Structure 1
Amino acid sequence: MKIICWNCRGVGNPATVRDLKQLLVAIDPDIIFLCETKVSANRFDFVRRRCRMEGCLAVNAEGKSGGLVMMWKESKKVEIQTYSSNHIDALVHMKNESPIRFTGFYGNADLNRRQNSWNMLKRVGQTVTGKWIIGGDFNAILVEAEKDGGRRKPKVLMEEFRTIVDELAVVDLKTDNGWFTWVNNREGSARVKERLDRFLMSANAVNSFPFLETRVIRQSSSDHDAISLDTEGRRPRDGPMDPRLCFRYEVCWARNEAAKTIIKGVWQRGNQDIMEKITNVGKELGRWQYKKLKQLRNQIGSLQADINRLIDGQGSDNEGKKLKAVWLKLGNLLDTEEKFWAQRSRVMWLKEGDRNTRFFHVRATNRRKKNNIARLKDTNDSWRDNNVDICKAIREYFQLLFKSNLNSNSELNLDYIEKCISGTESSRN
């Protein structure tokens, strides 16, 4: 099960809706909990349809603040238990497992009303009998290390939070990446960072999910970052297939001089027939594309790591300027990556101009899953059921096919290929 929690700071902003859609398609969550939507429940239905989530419960904002929503996939059976201006509590039915209680929580920012939030959580906890997950913006920190900059938090507030965690018998889940989830976006000594957003989980739930993974997902349209929980996030997966084995023409090659040089070099090699040239062009472009994509991903990963270091590290006077510069560089690389995945996705329901990279990547990945061959019977009537053996069986089959049906190049009929250049022009090259 995958869950996302995000204090989006208002869904009336088009940039927030765009980021929300990208977040949904990139993570593909089963459930998403948003706080501070700042809209009425009736208005949120438009956002739900834009995000293509079937189930939804929205809690009205109070004026220009507050507002909660929980959305879920149609494939998930979710039963809402209780809700208020600070929480939405639901029972999530799991396939072949016992149900899980999930409570989306928004801690009251008003210190005079904070205790009401804790009391509400305790009342919910009294009704929980099985596995329990709590996630959201708690507007509180457990220890001093969860804040950098500004005035120190009163110890009594941190002690209250720790007491609640102990009374509820839940575990604070540390994220696998990142630390601070909120930044006030000011410069110098006025800059403050805190870990306000988190997941808490009952001990029996932690023990039930050995591959549990939680992450911080940096967002630019809100001062809060999103957090995600995946109960199967660390489960080992089969190694990815070598992209060079899946050759196809890429749009970006047409404008790349290096690609043109590779094609020209292969085509001008010595004694090769047309089929050999086509095969070798595919191999060379595949290797080159593989290296370029790997370099691009490494550069993107490096910049994302820089963003994490700037947010989670010790503050500096020009930290904000550095962060903006890194975001700009990252944006340029994401534009390049977007072109690659756009061609492979075959769908574009996001508006033109949105950064679709994560969407395209997920769609292309999902299409690859649908096209997946789980088992294959080879020419000896033996079943192959792993990627290496399946690829080998396919390769052997077509090698045998071409050997039996195409004994000589003289049988290759090129009469149906329209001539684009004359013999004289060809001899010049």
Structure 2
Amino acid sequence: MLHQSRQSITCELDAGNSNCLTITACYAANLNTERSDLWVDLINVQQQLSLDSSPWVVGGDFNQISHFSEHSLPSVNCYDSPMSEFRDTLSHLGIFDLRFTRPLHTWSNKCPSSRIAKKLDRILVNQPWVSSFPHSQATFLPPDISDHAPAILNLAVNLPTSGTKPFKFFNYLTKHPLFYQTVLQAWHQSGSIAWDLSHLCVKLKKIKSDIKKLNRENFSDIQERVRVANRLLNDAQVLALTHPTQENFLKEKELHDKWEFLRTIEESYFRQRSRINWLREGDHNTTFFHRLMQVRNSYNSIRSFTLSTGEVVTDPVVMGVIAISHFQQLLAPQTTLTSPCSLAWFQALSPFRCPESNAQAMILLPSDEEIERMLFKLNANKTSGPDSLTSELLKAAWNFLGAEALPWEYRSKDIWIQLKQVSEHTGSLL
């Protein structure tokens, strides 16, 4: 035991494999003034034990919600002072909810006539915890005889895997000296000039193998490549200081440039994976991006499905079948054909009519210059479309891609028929 107070107890646990973690169990008071003592106590514990740099989990009954959505009553629809104080404490400590399954609310008043449910119990972790236990997960169980839902913390919930890893285009590939030539050659080898969107999408799919090969040969396991480049640079620096010849100085400069280049690639990789857009490129915030990526992967990964019957499915193959069936029913339901509504019926819905000039403007197709200008304004780190290609690929290869992406045939009266046929492949292009 490392620390004990009226509302918490902190212990160190040996999880095996040289993994030591710190656990703080909390049982917060009912009164807000007393809970404030717990918030101060947690801050002191973190500072005294230097828990900001080691795996730390804080769990228990906090007797306080962090957001009004964690209260079942619709009348609770804004932040109050206790909520804000609790949120500020969590932010100061750098802890957040561990990914959990089962019910959102963990407490109820057991009163059917004036029912209330809240999320008062939670398991919170810090960033070092996610790095050490990336597959950990909390599960809240039925309350049984209690009014609170107990929680189980599992340190190693394996992610379901099935099939091959999907293709993903990383923007850093455009920085490689051979990128343009590689894509250009693959583009010409993929067939004749694309005169419609369907052919264009086929050509985009064919260049993926060359892009994957370029990435695999030059940037696979980028973190290890950066470490190796740094070690070689250190050796060259020592040699240049020991024997300051022109050859050794040139070798040092060459290795330094390579190391800086790989560091830039590493930063770009984690920036794109983290989805953070408000930091400037070139700051080398690699550690920051890496941590955010770990948190996103841990929180967003799908480990199981809970069916309407209450059955929990963890088999990845079965999960895939269920997911496809769900979205087919949602997006392409088997419905009987109905007769279309007349224009008069639609016009009767509202007396408003926009001016003819506005009506014409709404159906006016954009010019090549407008499309190109909007394309180059797109966020390079934005999530890619269904084709896994980002706008950065189109920008980097626009000299020859643009010539086929913007012919007048694409804006012909049959454009919507073509779009319907290839909509799943043109998300990033459009």
Question: Which TM bucket (shorter chain)?
Answer: 0.3 to 0.5
Which has a greater percent of helix? 2
Question: Which of these two proteins has the greater Rg computed from alpha carbons?
Answer: 2
Which has a greater percent of strand? 1
